[in-house]
Structure 1
Amino acid sequence: MALDCKEMLGDSLILMGDIGANDYVYMFFQGKSINEVEELVPLVIKAISSAIVDLINLGGKTFLVPGSFPYGCFPAYLTLFQTAKEEEYDPFTGCLSWLNAFGKNHDEQLKTELRRLRKLYPHVNIIYADYYNSMYRFFQEPAKYGTWDFRAPPMGILPIEGFKERPLGACCGVGGQYNFTIGEECGYQGVGYCKNPSEYVNWDGYHLTEATHQKMVHGLLKGPYATPAFD
């Protein structure tokens, strides 16, 4: 039985979960400062590394390890940290710059640790999934990532489905600039949802829509957002 498990792990692509993501969320929503949350990052990286090593010892050979999301673009965080200070926002995307910098810091520490693991276990394929940039492009050029009707006159090309021009709001939610209210989230009585979720990057303030996931996966499998790239 143990041998079968080892063979199964050896033949599998093991997707590591978003380890640490909820820990960051809880600390931010508890009112912890950015400096306090940053102290948690090395512990999260250590936990990710330890989990990978444990799975290697059990027979795992191929890992997909995700980085952080650009949380500064999520409706929940944009609402929680909403401010009149324009300097805290990216003028091009409207995302919170300092919170996205936190995500980048997490990713840099994670990539450093993954390079160390690759040297220790050269027979293991450890792939870094760049969730941050795979998703951030949707806020930089939202209309670019849609579905096109090539039969439409007179130009022959018509966008029929794509992200909204300013895709920072939640599909399912209510109130505020980002269609999100803390304490009245998606699923609460009276909270509605949009007609076309494919136009939205974010579903409920915390989670992404199916359209976003599909485009991110395509970027990982076919694009430049996996290191090393998938063959």
Structure 2
Amino acid sequence: MSTSTSASASGGTHSHFSLKQSLMWISIIMLPLANGVHQRRPILVNFGDSNSDTGGVLAGTGLPIGLPHGITFFHRGTGRLGDGRLIIDFFCEHLNLSYLSSYLDSLAPNFTNGVNFAVSGATLLPKFIPFALDVQARQFIRFKNRSLELLSKGSKGLIDEDGFAGALYMIDIGQNDLLLALYSSNVTYDQVVKMIPSFLNEIKLAVETIYQYGGRKFWFHNTGPLGCQPKELALHPHKSSDLDRVGCLMVHNKVAKTFNKGLYSLCEDLRSVYKDAIFVYVDVYSIKYSLSANPQKYGFKDPFAACCGHGAPYRYERNATCGQPGYSICSNVSQSIVWDGVHYTEAANRIVANKIFSGHYSTPSLKLETFWQS
């Protein structure tokens, strides 16, 4: 196992992990087995926003998220904002699990191998969508208590106490808070940075809640390069001096990097407080930025043009967004990084997921499947 990782491109610090520390984390992962807990299968419990929403906003708000979303893989609208599978869907495939059902889905959900609390538009601080991270954490409490109650009465196909103890609790949220802060401050870095500690505190509070209810394995995705999104490039008039060497908005990415540094530090703080838990920080920013910086290397064309949308050069206009009158779809979705101006295509999500599976972008450097290996 590699004992070092770098988060430099995401604004993190280069960290070195001793063999002793690595062995300690492995022992924490194996703790449920040592205590007689027989982990039969991987279980994922996910919290987040549209990056990992597998149907929450559709079930919770009734927003008509149909085709062309889902056109590549599911061939129907599932509530996912993208042409096909999300990163979390590839996680499930990698672990040989069925795709996660949304907690809010009342029609034939499958909670045998996990649950998804993510809702598109969700934030860390309560905003417009009524499913901020603190609400998702409370929903988890309800879900766990109700699952155990139903199991005690003979119900099947639910997560039991051992399952919750051995589950991986995944958190991928924050980009909406950062973007809203940028909009409200007229894209002023100093004003946004002042808000970041309050954002991170919401993650800390959610972790404390999950830990209180038995969670011991945590997995965090940092936020991606917001300044590389076609939507942001289209909505914010800019000069060449506002862009970095790749063509991304520098202020947006600087904000993302500062948030990511804070998240990295939060993970370090949590490790020092909760000695019997593991906290994995995944540098998604570096992976996604590499796609924008080297599109041809991965088989992509223009990294700043949405596949589904309207207008040039970014193919994002407020009045003709993906699925609205006036939109069109690019000729080859698999050659586009971004689907609708914000969310990644299935082709890009697959690459991001595969790089995460390598363990090279994680601190500590652990592969996903390690959490259930005996």
TM-score normalised to structure 1 length? 0.85
| CA distance in structure 1 between the partners assigned to 2:321 and 2:184 by the alignment | 17
| CA distance in structure 2 between the partners assigned to 1:59 and 1:226 by the alignment | 23
| CA distance in structure 1 between the partners assigned to 2:320 and 2:192 by the alignment | 25
2:180 aligned to which of 20, 26, 33: 26
The CA deviation at 1:122 is: 2.0
Contact 2:170 2:218 in 1 (8 A): yes
| CA distance in structure 1 between the partners assigned to 2:187 and 2:289 by the alignment | 24
The CA deviation at 1:30 is: 4.5
* Partner of residue 149, structure 1: none
2:112 is equivalent to residue 112 of structure 1: no
AA of the residue aligned to 1:174: H
Contact 1:72 1:100 in 2 (8 A): yes
Contact 2:187 2:251 in 1 (8 A): no
| CA distance in structure 1 between the partners assigned to 2:221 and 2:347 by the alignment | 18
* Partner of residue 130, structure 1: 283
- State the secondary structure of the residue aligned to 1:16: strand
* Partner of residue 46, structure 1: 201
| CA distance in structure 2 between the partners assigned to 1:185 and 1:50 by the alignment | 35
The CA deviation at 1:25 is: 2.6
Contact 1:118 1:126 in 2 (8 A): yes
> Cα deviation per residue 1:140-166 (whole Å; 9 max; x = unaligned)?
211222xxxxxxxxxxxxxxxx111x3
* Partner of residue 141, structure 1: 294
AA of the residue aligned to 2:281: Y
AA of the residue aligned to 1:144: K
Q: Structure 1's 26 and 95: CA in aligned 2 closer, same or farther, altered over 3 A?
A: same
> Cα deviation per residue 1:211-230 (whole Å; 9 max; x = unaligned)?
11111111111152111122
2:300 is equivalent to residue 163 of structure 1: yes
- State the secondary structure of the residue aligned to 1:183: helix
Q: Structure 1's 5 and 97: CA in aligned 2 closer, same or farther, altered over 3 A?
A: same
Q: Structure 1's 182 and 27: CA in aligned 2 closer, same or farther, altered over 3 A?
A: farther
* Partner of residue 121, structure 2: none
Contact 2:178 2:256 in 1 (8 A): no
2:240 aligned to which of 72, 81, 86: 86
- State the secondary structure of the residue aligned to 1:14: strand
2:351 is equivalent to residue 196 of structure 1: no
AA of the residue aligned to 1:27: A
Q: How many residues align?
A: 211
Q: Structure 1's 212 and 191: CA in aligned 2 closer, same or farther, altered over 3 A?
A: same
> Cα deviation per residue 1:90-147 (whole Å; 9 max; x = unaligned)?
12x11112211111000001111110001111221111111100111111211222xx
1:77 aligned to which of 221, 232, 240: 232
AA of the residue aligned to 1:136: Y
- State the secondary structure of the residue aligned to 2:315: coil
| CA distance in structure 2 between the partners assigned to 1:179 and 1:29 by the alignment | 20
* Partner of residue 191, structure 2: 36
AA of the residue aligned to 2:330: C
- State the secondary structure of the residue aligned to 2:328: coil
The CA deviation at 1:5 is: 5.0
| CA distance in structure 1 between the partners assigned to 2:316 and 2:221 by the alignment | 26
Q: Structure 1's 191 and 137: CA in aligned 2 closer, same or farther, altered over 3 A?
A: same
| CA distance in structure 1 between the partners assigned to 2:229 and 2:358 by the alignment | 25
| CA distance in structure 1 between the partners assigned to 2:210 and 2:224 by the alignment | 24
* Partner of residue 172, structure 1: 308
* Partner of residue 152, structure 1: none
Contact 1:185 1:204 in 2 (8 A): yes
Which consecutive unaligned segments of at least 5 residues does structure 2 have? Answer: 1-147, 153-158
2:255 is equivalent to residue 102 of structure 1: yes
| CA distance in structure 1 between the partners assigned to 2:186 and 2:250 by the alignment | 18
TM-score normalised to structure 2 length? 0.53
2:342 aligned to which of 191, 206, 223: 206
| CA distance in structure 2 between the partners assigned to 1:107 and 1:128 by the alignment | 10
Contact 1:9 1:61 in 2 (8 A): no
Q: CA RMSD in A?
A: 1.9
AA of the residue aligned to 1:101: K
The CA deviation at 1:73 is: 0.3
| CA distance in structure 1 between the partners assigned to 2:273 and 2:313 by the alignment | 48
